[in-house]
Chains A and B, each alone.
Chain A
Amino acid sequence: MDINQQHRLKSYCLKAGHLILLFIAMSIICLPGLWIVLNSFRPTVEIMAKPPVWIPNSLSLDHYRAMFGAVGEGGVPVGRYFMNSLIISLTSTVISMLVAISGGYAFARYRFRGKSVIFVTFMLTRAVPGVALSLPLFIVFARVGIIDTHFGLILAYVAMNVPFSIWLIDGFFRQVPKELGEAAEIDGCTRWQAFWKVEFPVAKAGIASAAIFAFLTSWNEYALASQLTRSVYSKTMPVGLLDFTSEFTINWGGMCALAVLMIIPALVLTFIVQKHLISGLTFGGIKG
């Protein structure tokens, strides 16, 4: 065997090893999720079978049909939950981006006393566990009268997402050279115009990545939502999952069907913006 051949063999092996490892990793990531998708199409008797039924005997849309069906026959107000989730997640994401852009810009562009203390304090507000925060928050919200409203949950999610978003966005503004904005100002732009025309476009990718994190957090949040929402007027989908549980039973197939409805929009959104997400995070890591 000449050296060339040996070399080629080695590189083949490496390549194969790489592919196998990649395949295993992706399988472990996907399987539990795909299992949920599969379960949403299978009758409960097959999901919990013993001996196990590996190859589904029958696939059907029964769980979906039941879910969209009438209340009392397995129906769950999915449409309402979906709209609530969408409204709350989108609005809170947009608001937290606005707040975070302004805050991040302040941290990136201005020098002031106690900057790092303020910064760390901001971060730490995010470190409060939801389970410890939910009751005091509930009492305050109840006094103000914003329990069971979209507004209440939006406010809570904005607060939850702002610290982390500020941090990411702060990093992006820092990597935009100060001189760029200053040059624009010399050219006769106001500070606002300079920000909007020069600095914002450069940081756009970063804002997109902060936004997707914020959206996914709000979309999936449960601990606060379960405390601050009550009726179909404001319940979000993660809280709606619990509609499939009752005192003695869990309708796991039905829960999976709702879960699939939750995952699809998030997946589509991620697929669309993932390019920005990566490039955004790339800049954010280095500076900041």
Chain B
Amino acid sequence: MKLLPLRLPTWFLLLLPAIIILLSVVLIPLVLSLYSSFTPYKLTRPETLYKWIGEYNYVKIAGDANFWWAFGRTVFLLTIALNLEMLLGLGIALLVNKVTWGQRWLRTIMMFPMMFSPILVGFQFKFIFNDNVGLVNNALQSLGITDQALPWLVDGKLAMFSIIFAEVWMSTSVFAILILAGLFAIPRDPLEAAKVDGCTPWQSFRHITLPFLMPFIYIALAIRSLDVARAYDIVKIMTNGGPARRTELLWTMIGRTGYVDAKMGLANAMGYASIILAVFFTVYFFRKLSASRSSLGFDN
């Protein structure tokens, strides 16, 4: 009865729901925003969406020192935060893995920060790092460590530190949980053999445990690099890029340009720069992931 001999392959049918949803929710809006980045689109004047100005916005961004500072700062923040999260996550996972009692509780506690909405984390650390009545300065002063009110959210270095601290606090759990999963999967035999051969704990960690954990670490890095922009909520609440642009990141810049200044065309052009950044990090970690998998002989 079929008039058309066309029959879609099964794999395509199976992927179809995902494709449709991603097309409609991500790709169509992205095309729209790509187009608008070539216009002087201003939210409060919708007619500006139909005025083509070519690469004007991009040229403007390219010549804007503030933008490049924000770009560099974002890369800096990502590099520091992701590495710190990885190291701390590894440390916590190793600690928890050694515990023989109450692991169920420890693992739940370990994931505690994952229950916090990023926006809540922002408010939380804004108050904790407040220089006058904040928790940290109060503690330092009560303990007699300092008699100064450290300007956590103002001093350039301290502010970056505070933001990174908040971000690391929120996201280390993801690393810890994935690395812990990796530790559970390590086969016992090579470790026992190493012990018999007289390897120090460090040697067996370095040459057996760590290579085995690498895929897990790269998965965590890839996951995190996919949604690092969640840090936007935190930074927006804590410093909103200030003071004097000392903590300005791409995302805060985009948010302000797009919504407060209503210059959506320009903001979308910046948005593409940040997308390229995220794409770079993601692709990089995916490659690392498959490399570390194939070195372990896991790929298929």
* Complex A–B touching at CB under 8 A: yes
A18→B95 contact, CB < 8 A: yes
Task: Report if B66 contacts A (CB, 8 A).
Answer: no
Given A102-B14, A106-B14, verify A130-B22 contact (CB < 8 Å).
no
List of B residues within 8 angstroms of A28 by Cβ: 169
Question: Closest CB of chain B to A255's CB: distance in Å?
Answer: 6
Task: Report if A279 contacts B (CB, 8 A).
Answer: yes
* 0/1 string, B121-165, CB within 8 A of A gives 1: 001110110001101001100100000000000000000000000
A25→B92 contact, CB < 8 A: yes
List of B residues within 8 angstroms of A174 by Cβ: 300
Question: Closest CB of chain B to A41's CB: distance in Å?
Answer: 16
- Interface of chain A residues 217 through 257 with chain B (CB within 8 A): 217, 219-223, 237-238, 241-242, 250, 252, 255
Question: Closest CB of chain A to B261's CB: distance in Å?
Answer: 13
B114→A238 contact, CB < 8 A: no
* 0/1 string, A69-113, CB within 8 A of B gives 1: 000000000000000000000000000001110110111011010
Q: How many residues of A contact B (CB 8 A)?
A: 94
List of A residues within 8 angstroms of B271 by Cβ: 129, 131-132
Task: Report if A140 contacts B (CB, 8 A).
Answer: yes
A129→B282 contact, CB < 8 A: no
Given A133-B30, A263-B116, verify A162-B21 contact (CB < 8 Å).
yes
A123→B286 contact, CB < 8 A: yes
* 0/1 string, A1-45, CB within 8 A of B gives 1: 000000000000000001001100110111011011000000000
Question: Closest CB of chain B to A100's CB: distance in Å?
Answer: 7
Task: Report if A186 contacts B (CB, 8 A).
Answer: no
Question: Closest CB of chain A to B231's CB: distance in Å?
Answer: 10
A127→B279 contact, CB < 8 A: yes
Contact of A123 among B12, B177, B282 (CB under 8 A): B282
* 0/1 string, B258-300, CB within 8 A of A gives 1: 1100001001100110110011001100100000010010101
A279→B184 contact, CB < 8 A: yes
Contact of A122 among B22, B98, B115, B125 (CB under 8 A): B22
Q: Is the interface of A mostly helix, strand, loop or mixed?
A: helix
A222→B117 contact, CB < 8 A: yes
Given A50-B132, A287-B300, verify A29-B230 contact (CB < 8 Å).
no
Q: How many residues of B contact A (CB 8 A)?
A: 97
Task: Report if B70 contacts A (CB, 8 A).
Answer: no
Extra 16 A-B pairs, beta carbons < 8 Å, given A21-B95, A103-B18, A286-B298: A29-B110, A30-B112, A35-B135, A50-B138, A54-B142, A99-B21, A112-B9, A125-B27, A129-B278, A137-B25, A139-B29, A155-B25, A241-B117, A274-B104, A274-B111, A284-B219
Q: What would be 16 A-B contacts, judged by CB atoms less than 8 Å apart? A: A18-B98, A29-B109, A51-B138, A112-B9, A131-B258, A132-B33, A132-B229, A132-B271, A135-B43, A140-B24, A163-B226, A255-B123, A270-B115, A285-B181, A286-B215, A286-B298
B interface with A by C-beta (< 8 Å): 9-12, 14-15, 17-18, 21-22, 24-30, 32-33, 36, 43, 91-92, 95-96, 98-99, 104, 106-120, 123-125, 127-128, 132-133, 135, 138-139, 142, 169, 172-173, 177-178, 180-182, 184-185, 215-216, 219, 222-223, 225-227, 229-230, 232-233, 251, 254-255, 258-259, 264, 267-268, 271-272, 274-275, 278-279, 282-283, 286, 293, 296, 298, 300
A interface with B by C-beta (< 8 Å): 18, 21-22, 25-26, 28-30, 32-33, 35-36, 47-52, 54, 98-100, 102-103, 105-107, 109-110, 112, 118, 120, 122-133, 135-137, 139-140, 155-156, 158-160, 162-164, 166, 174, 216-217, 219-223, 237-238, 241-242, 250, 252, 255, 259, 262-263, 266-267, 270-271, 274-275, 277-288
